[in-house]
Structure 1
Amino acid sequence: MASTALRLSRSRLSRLAQPSSSRSIPAASSASAHAPLAPRSLLLRRFASSGGDVEMEEEGTSRRKRSVLEQEVSPDDLFELLTEPNDVGDMPSLTHRMMMEKRRMLHYFRLIEHEMPKLVAYRKPFIPPNSKETPLYVKSISYQGENHPAVAKRAIVVNVDDLPLADAAAVHTIKLLAGPRWTPNPPKDAGVMEQEAWGNGYIKISCETYSNGEQNLKWASDALDRLVEQANNQKESFADLPLDMRHVYAKVRKGKKGDHRRDRPLRPVSKADFPKEWLPRTAASS
């Protein structure tokens, strides 16, 4: 198929195979007259290591004139190499993963096309949640299946105005009973919208005593029910007791934002506090 361009002549190969005593050594030039001759085993080793492509000049010397291999490929051989079918019968692992992802997406596309229209029978009109019926904000933490102590913890937040309290005295009583669990503003992690009015503040109760999250939620809900029951009990009056606001002011002082001045924790600053005298006069007012 391929012929080497550098060949070792038969005469030189025969002379190389003859014993050194029977070979005729030509007269060396004056420059290489005293150069030592390489042994026959070394020459044969060089010839074998080069693949038979080293041309021998004289006994004892070898020199490479051209490249080690120069192959001559015919057009038919080249066409056969280009049109030879691939012997690999399987795809790489990366291609298998790509095909698996395509199959998964195709499965969901089939569900969307054939199964989702059947859900129309279960359609119900959207009714916005009523704060009087569902006043609780429930917070839980999930680590996507990882075992963590905080997974079982449950916390509930409720607006005091949404609780079934009898009168203003019951509202004041439940604030006293809640203690530091009551704050005039909603907790940041409660999920309460910023546009919602604060009203009489919020109560937050959390529990992580039990290993089950449903048990902790039940305990927190029962604790809130007990607070409401005791607040509606009119046997004793706590109207003369002031609210303990030390936990509120301690929190705002720790934030170092100046909210502890001018009674800001109980009455947040808004656009309504802007002085009307500073507003520009309109054409109607003038």
Structure 2
Amino acid sequence: MLRNCLLKRRLFSTTSFPRFQFSKAIFEPPSRFEPRDEGFMNELENDMHQNNASLGLLLEHSKVRQYYRKAAYELPSLTMYSEAYQPKHVGQVLVFESPIQMSSTATPFSKVVLKFKVDNLPQLQQNERHVLKLLAGVRYNSETDEVKMSCNKYPSSLQNKLFLAESLNSLISESKRLKVKFADIPLDTRHMKKKRQDLRFPKAWLEQSQQMPFEKE
């Protein structure tokens, strides 16, 4: 007995064992995310610091330093692709523009804009130019004699450029076909008017403002 007390053993009687025969093994259900799940730990860390102002400043500073490193080490390597400036040829009457957003979060932008002056188009008579202006509609600027067309239908800029070229060919062919039928139709320039008219103030207000003394500071 003394030996059992020294060894701190627990003695079970024969009557205590039957109560264990109805017991069931209870296992703890596994947690949804275990500590070794790196994705969960990263997500948890981001949630902990997403409202931290100091961390936001550090991230912004690191992004600025990244652009500085690109300007110092990557931009000078672009000099091998530089080309000498060549003025536009007289026969180049079409101008294609593709806007590009210089941002890391910018989505791919495939829009293409076509600009040309009607008077610069070759092999067109005067009545055919007039019909082309009518068909262009609001895309024609009567002040600069320029037609501006854009396309953003396709995911690729080359496809949009090809569509604009085909549209221009269709305009030219239709202007030649309808040069007699649309010869008497005047050009509509209502879209060139300013949407907001110039404000006109009474002259009496100007006279009153001139009569008022101005205090020098």
Structure-2-length-normalised TM-score: 0.49
TM-score (structure 1 length as normaliser): 0.38
Q: Which structure's residues are more often helix, by fraction?
A: 2
Q: Highest Rg: 1 or 2?
A: 1
